Amino acid sequence: MRKLFGTDGIRGVANVHPVTSEMVFQLGRATGYVFQQQHRQTVLVGKDTRISGDMLESALIAGMCSMGTNVSRAGVIPTPVLAYLCRTLSCQAGVMISASHNPMEDNGIKFFSDEGTKLPDAVEEEIERVIFSGEHNEIHPTGAEIGRVVEKHNAVDRYVQFAKRTLPEGVNLKGLTVVVDCANGSTYHVSPRVLAELGAEVVTINAEPDGTNINQNCGSTHPETIQHAVLTHLADVGIAHDGDGDRLIMVDERGRLVDGDYIMAIAGIEMLRAGRLPNNLVVASVTSNMGLDLALKPYGGVVRRTAVGDRYVWEEMVRSGATLGGEQSGHIIMREFTTTGDGLITALQVLAVMIARAQPLSELARCYQPLAQYALNLPVREKADFQRIPSIQRAIEHVEDRLGGRGRVLVRYSGTEPKIRILLEGEDESELRSLGDRIGDAFRSELGATQLQAA
């Protein structure tokens, strides 16, 4: 069992274990030790706008420099900018200090390779092993062997030019009014600039970070803010980021939400039409609605699902050669351009479809119709292998038979709580409720769940 790393690096309340300056200093030392063994001599470090970012950045850099590792400090940049710079600059690795869409009190640290991808589990496990084994504790370089820190002043400029080039040649955004919600996060000085330089009339909101207002009633986790702004400004489209810019939720000109599943359907159909979707495949996590499968099917597209987490979506994209993948939350990976979720690049590609089809976003979004859902979160006494419990399996198989090809069942344990999560999709919500409760009763009987909670 890992003690520090989760599916997306290390994350928690800032200044509470494990996200303390003391632990992050030790993380920096262990990281420097492991990276040097892998000949990673220079590490790029970025952060979002949280007040705790300065504290953690200082501790991390001090730890790495104390092991002789050089650091290139990029300051406040979105996560996708750091990933882009990792693969285009002479840095051997990258570290992003951010808790993404989480509240201001949280912070986290995630690692990237020189290819702009998340570090493999094995490397993170090795860093964690070194921290707790202490095998590096006696290593203290002196003199010229201590690591240096260099400021990377033009980091955003490089990315801005790259982002603009992802639009098809000759295409610009003139005539479009775009509202962009920066969530008071690290996109505040990037997304509005790119959109404006491409010719859009840009209305920028929540782009005044003060260290404490990141994701506060704004951004992709609070889309009602941008929905209201789009209607107020009579805009053509709204773009809402999360705190570090790797997610995107859009809003059409009528103020209606267009989440990650809609975006994958719109982009996937366009790529299928253009012959740009290898194996006609889109990769999505298990939480994506079955409506995505139904939207792509008439065009020959298929959906392959992974465990929850962008890391697993990316790994399956690499294995299968897919160029489009993502999650309903708006973490979309367009492998033609990026190696991680990139809210701005994704938005630009959707805007390009709007322009090419001469259609508003509301019309494009009609290609996708989500199925009805019924979700349960059940507390359990233990996380036993339910696939080996006959009564639970019979209940699940019964529901699958009833739904046939008209829906699906997803049963999985929470990664952070003693709960089983049950999700049903289909055409009839009342039927889903009855069928879902049947599975819930089986879990309650066998694993001691004390109550049912409708999600």
Tokens matching residue 210: 């003060």
Residue-wise pLDDT tens digits, 113-140:
999 998 888 899 999 999 999 999 999 9
Q: Which residues are catalytic?
A: 100
- The Cα–Cα gap between 198 and 339 comes to 23
Mean pLDDT of 37-44: 82
Surface-to-core class of residue 313, CB atoms within 10 Å of its CB (0-12 exposed, 13-18 middle, 19+ buried) = buried
Average pLDDT over the chain, rounded to an integer: 93
Mean pLDDT of 171-197: 98
Predicted local confidence at residue 24, as pLDDT: 97
- DSSP secondary structure, 352-390, as one string: HHHHHHT--HHHHGGG--PPEEEEEEEE-S----GGG-H
78 compared with 383, residue with greater pLDDT: 78
Which amino acid makes up residue 376?
L
Q: Is the peptide bond before 18 cis (omega within 30 degrees of 0)?
A: yes
Tokens matching residue 198: 């491409």
Predicted local confidence at residue 38, as pLDDT: 73
User: In which element (H, E) is residue 195 found?
Assistant: helix 191-197
CA dihedral 395, 399, 404, 409 (to 10 degrees): -100
37 compared with 343, residue with greater pLDDT: 343
Predicted local confidence at residue 214, as pLDDT: 98
Residue-wise pLDDT tens digits, 316-354:
999 999 999 999 999 999 999 999 999 999 999 999 999
CA atoms within 13 A on the CB side of 293: 16
Q: Please enumerate in sequence order all residues whose Cβ is within 8 A of that of 446, keeping only pairs 6 or more positions apart, or say none.
A: 384, 386, 389, 391, 392
Residue 292 in this model has a pLDDT that exceeds 80: yes
Mean pLDDT of 390-418: 88
In 3D space, the residue among 194, 190, 224, 195 whose CA is nearest the CA of residue 207 turns out to be: 190
- The Cα–Cα gap between 237 and 249 comes to 11
Residue-wise pLDDT tens digits, 133-161:
999 999 999 999 999 999 998 889 999 99
Surface-to-core class of residue 4, CB atoms within 10 Å of its CB (0-12 exposed, 13-18 middle, 19+ buried) = buried
CB-CB contact of 15 with 52 (8 Å): yes
In 3D space, the residue among 27, 45, 107, 35 whose CA is nearest the CA of residue 81 turns out to be: 45
Q: In the chain, what are the helix, strand and coil shares in percent, each to the nearest 5? A: 40, 20, 40
Residue-wise pLDDT tens digits, 209-246:
999 999 999 999 999 999 999 999 999 999 999 999 99
Predicted local confidence at residue 2, as pLDDT: 73
Q: Please enumerate in sequence order all residues whose Cβ is within 8 A of that of 375, keeping only pairs 6 or more positions apart, or say none.
A: 421, 422, 423, 424, 436, 454, 455
Tell me the whole-structure pTM to 2 decimals: 0.89
Q: Does domain 372-454 have CATH number 3.30.310.50?
A: yes
Tokens matching residue 346: 């994704």
Query: Looking at 285-289, 415-419, 450-454, which range is the least confident one?
Result: 450-454
Residue 130 backbone dihedrals phi, psi, to 5 degrees: -65, -40
Q: Among the CATH numbers 3.40.120.10, 3.40.640.10, 3.40.50.10190, 3.90.1150.10, which is that of 10-153? A: 3.40.120.10
Q: Please enumerate in sequence order all residues whose Cβ is within 8 A of that of 292, keeping only pairs 6 or more positions apart, or say none.
A: 261, 264, 265, 282, 284, 303, 368
Tell which CATH architecture fits domain 154-364: 3-Layer(aba) Sandwich (3.40)
Predicted local confidence at residue 454, as pLDDT: 41
- The Cα–Cα gap between 145 and 186 comes to 33
The domain ranges of the chain are: 10-153, 154-364, 372-454
- Asked if the domains at 10-153 and 372-454 fall in one CATH topology, the answer is no
Predicted local confidence at residue 1, as pLDDT: 61
Q: How confident is the model at residue 452 (pLDDT cuts 50, 70, 90)?
A: very low
Range 159-163 contact pairs with CB under 8 angstroms and sequence separation of 24 or more: 159/77, 159/80, 159/81, 159/84, 159/85, 159/190, 160/190, 160/193, 160/194, 160/197, 162/84, 162/88, 163/194, 163/344, 163/345, 163/348
- The Cα–Cα gap between 305 and 282 comes to 9
Which amino acid makes up residue 3?
K
CB-CB contact of 327 with 285 (8 Å): yes
